[in-house]
Chains A and B, each alone.
Chain A
Amino acid sequence: MSERVLMKGNEAIAEAAIQAGCRYFFGYPITPQNEIPAYMSKRMPKVDGVYLQAESEVSAINMVYGAAGAGARVMTSSSGPGISLKQEGISYIAGSELPCLIVNIVRGGPGLGGIQPAQSDYFQSVKGGGHGDYRLVVLAPSTVQEAVDLTMEAFDIGDMYRIPVMVLGDGMLGQMMEPVEFKPFQGRALPAKDWATTGTRGKRKRNIVNSLYIEPQALEEKNLARLEKYRQIEQREVKYEMQDCDDADIVLVAYGTTARIVKSAMKAARREGLKVGIVRPITLWPFPAAVLHNLAETAKAFLTVEMSMGQMVEDVKLAVNGVKPVYFYGRTGGMVPAPADILEEIKKIYGGEK
């Protein structure tokens, strides 16, 4: 076992990226993710990598686009408002089928909102914050250790399917400290990046990185081919954690740090004899719809808890498909739900008040 160290979520994500072979970071500062660029600025020069603070988020994401096109392991990070600015670039990267990592350490919104933690960028991440028919693989860690492991895997998922991958954490995950272990990075077997624009040296046909298609038919074919790829990802890459759902009357659904708060509430509920379990989606896209769909047969109700006004709850409702009621409890604007409040909601559902 390698040695454990104590790290902030943001620092740990940056170190994990470096250990996974990322050598290019382009970004622009914003709270509460500043420790990612700060860490990168110190570490990248030591591993012969590039750290560059661009003049804006728009510029940073287009640098990512360029580096990804040349086949580099590359990333950027930001928080809500900055991720909004990056959406055009993200759509172009998705349209050009390039892999990269985008980290969003979410703060309260909309607009400038605030700097305290939130989960209100779910729609933006999962439903395509930019234009056009495209998907991002969205990974939602709930501990600093999981943030490390998922950040490393994110690059491989990206390279495997030629798709941009997002790690979505809330401000709390970025700012909190926990012990972490960096296991030696064991990557997946990956296809060669024979599509990268690395210079032909006169020996091969040139590669083109592009998202513009002159003929509508060609664009539709491209989109359908991408849809096929998305279906493969939905079949192979779903991740979730499930606890105590076998006999659960109420299935709680939460992701990220909120899931940890929900688990405290769940333990308290179990102590009082209330049968509750939890499903924690780890991939927000592809969403673990099948497991929720199946649980709708045994559970009496679902309660989704988020630091938002109700976003993931829509995907839970789609998965449950009207078979059982789906309730929602959320706090917003940087306010964090308390275990006692969630327990109260569970009791309301049990008591038929909801």
Chain B
Amino acid sequence: MNNQRINIFTGHFGSGKTEIAVNYAIHLKKHYHKVAIVDLDIVNPYFRTKDARQLLERKGIKVVASAFAGTNIDLPSLPPEIFSMFHNKDYQIVFDVGGDDRGAIALSRYRQYFSDESYHMFFVINCKRPMTKDAASTLEILREVEQRSRLKVSSLINNTNLSHCTNVDDLLIGQSQIEEVSKEMAVPISFITGGSEVLGQLPEYLKPKAFPIELYLRFPWEEST
């Protein structure tokens, strides 16, 4: 995995950024001593990185999130601790950014730090989301995210899925659509994400891109009793 110290996950809201960011942080922890995940989501009131906090901390990953995330205070606030993450170069950092241009605006605030140090900015795409159902609409959102964040997307992630009902054809149709986006933006598709069972059915030439993810954010009715 071609890793930068700073890894930023952006995308359309509901594209699966948080799940992938959480999985990516857990993956990094296998290779690095110090890993932190920063919840920059100022859009979503529910289903946030902080919901996976216990699990992440058990694995020794530092979680930097607004004290208000998951509470009843509906404030787009960001924790001051984020600054220390730029200065403390011991850490590998994963940024989980809120959806769309509205979410990306939170990134813009830290632009000076990103210009001092190179970064990897992923753009997560789920072609089964109606607002990113074709290359043109996906490009529209990608450009809005770049404009608002004042940063450049450096690679794409194919996270095409229908939750528990995903099949490999969904991923392949998504792949051809995202290849169009990749060509247009001249950035590579780094990963194809999904459950390991579905990824196992990918054709051989795509398998090197497969990045299996586990779903850590669960609904209350999925809890085992």
Contacts and interface: CB of A to CB of B under 8 A. Distances in A.
Contacts of A117: 46
Interface in B192-225: 219-223, 225
Given A179-B163, A260-B221, A340-B225, A31 B133 contact: no
A4 B221 contact: no
A139 B73 CA distance: 29
Interface string A260-278: 1101110010000000000
B72 A115 contact: yes
Contacts of B131: 42
B140 to A, nearest CB: 11
Nearest to A113: B72
B128 A6 contact: yes
Nearest to A116: B72
Contact of A6 (B74, B129, B219): B129
Contact of A179 (B45, B165, B225): B165
Contacts of B223: 264, 338-340
Contact of B46 (A116, A263, A268, A339): A116
Interface string A302-343: 000000000000000000000000000000011011111001
A233 to B, nearest CB: 31
A343 B225 contact: yes
B126 interface: yes
A265 B220 contact: no
A32 B46 CA distance: 9
Interface in B55-76: 70-72, 74
Nearest to A142: B221
B124 to A, nearest CB: 13
Contact of A177 (B14, B72, B222): B14
A321 B46 CA distance: 39
Contact of A265 (B126, B161, B225): B225
B186 interface: no
Contact of A338 (B71, B128, B220): B220
Contacts of A7: 14, 129-130
Main secondary structure on chain B at its contact with chain A? loop
B74 to A, nearest CB: 5
A57 interface: no
State which size class the interface on B falls in. Answer: 20 to 34
B74 A31 contact: yes
A66 interface: no
Contacts of A172: 46, 219-220
Most chain A CB inside 10 Å of its own CB: which residue of B126, B219, B220 = B220
B136 interface: no
A334 B221 contact: no
A104 B147 CA distance: 34
Given A5-B133, A7-B130, A177-B14, A263 B221 contact: yes
Interface in B120-142: 126, 128-131, 133
A282 B26 CA distance: 41
B113 interface: no
Contacts of A31: 45, 74
A4 B162 contact: yes
A108 B45 CA distance: 13
21 contacts: A4-B128, A5-B130, A5-B162, A6-B129, A7-B14, A15-B130, A31-B74, A32-B45, A114-B71, A116-B70, A116-B72, A171-B45, A175-B46, A175-B47, A176-B219, A179-B165, A264-B223, A268-B225, A336-B220, A339-B223, A339-B225
The 10 closest A-B pairs by CB, nearest first: A114-B72, A268-B225, A179-B162, A175-B46, A260-B221, A339-B225, A6-B128, A264-B221, A261-B221, A340-B225
